[in-house]
């Protein structure tokens, strides 16, 4: 059983196709271990058309989460961007979370994936309609 729980939340909760987007991703890291304190950090990989920089493609970044005491959680915010070359699809964001023990050795390495939907506007559908099923969400 992993000693870290990670959850993501996006604002807004979907992207618009064929235009620039800016969104905030809140990442919640929780230490489920009731006895040990860990230093936590996470690598992020967001493939194109997502970018971690607003003016150029940037796929890889790192979050320095900090010290997670037993049973505590820390929320970090990451800005994500797209250029107008995004199409309706689900875009995945990969995380590799590292927990370091009090000796500085990696205690645990967890890989997680999160995704955000990119929606398109088609004639005859209202804004926010899903392109994959062509049904209102």
| pLDDT at res. 58 | 95
Question: In this predicted model, what pLDDT tens digit does every residue of 80-117 receive, in sequence order?
Answer: 999 888 999 999 999 999 999 999 999 999 999 999 99
Could you give the domains of the chain?
4-119 (2.60.40.3880)
* pLDDT over 80 at 75, yes or no: yes
Q: Comparing 40-54, 69-83, 113-127, which segment has the lowest mean pLDDT? A: 113-127
Cα–Cα distances (Å) from 27 to 73, 87, 124, in that order, read 10, 25, 36
| pLDDT at res. 91 | 96
Question: In this predicted model, what pLDDT tens digit does every residue of 30-45 receive, in sequence order?
Answer: 999 999 999 999 999 9
* pLDDT over 50 at 130, yes or no: no
| pLDDT at res. 122 | 58
Q: Please state the pTM of the whole predicted model.
A: 0.82
Residues 130 and 121: beta-carbon distance below 8 Å: no
Q: What is the mean pLDDT of the chain?
A: 89
* pLDDT over 50 at 65, yes or no: yes
């Amino acid at each position: 059983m992993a000693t870290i729980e990670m959850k993501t939340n996006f604002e807004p909760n979907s992207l618009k196709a064929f235009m620039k987007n800016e969104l905030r991703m809140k990442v919640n890291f929780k230490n489920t271990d009731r006895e040990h304190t860990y230093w936590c950090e996470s690598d992020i990989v967001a493939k194109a058309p997502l970018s971690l920089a607003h003016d150029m493609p940037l796929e890889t970044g790192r979050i320095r989460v900090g010290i997670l005491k037993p049973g505590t959680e820390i929320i970090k915010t990451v800005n994500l961007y797209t250029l107008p070359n995004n199409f309706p699809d689900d875009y995945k964001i990969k995380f590799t979370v590292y927990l370091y023990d009090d000796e500085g050795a990696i205690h645990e390495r967890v890989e997680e994936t999160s995704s955000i939907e990119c929606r398109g506007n088609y004639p005859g559908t209202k804004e926010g309609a899903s392109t994959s099923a062509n049904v209102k969400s």
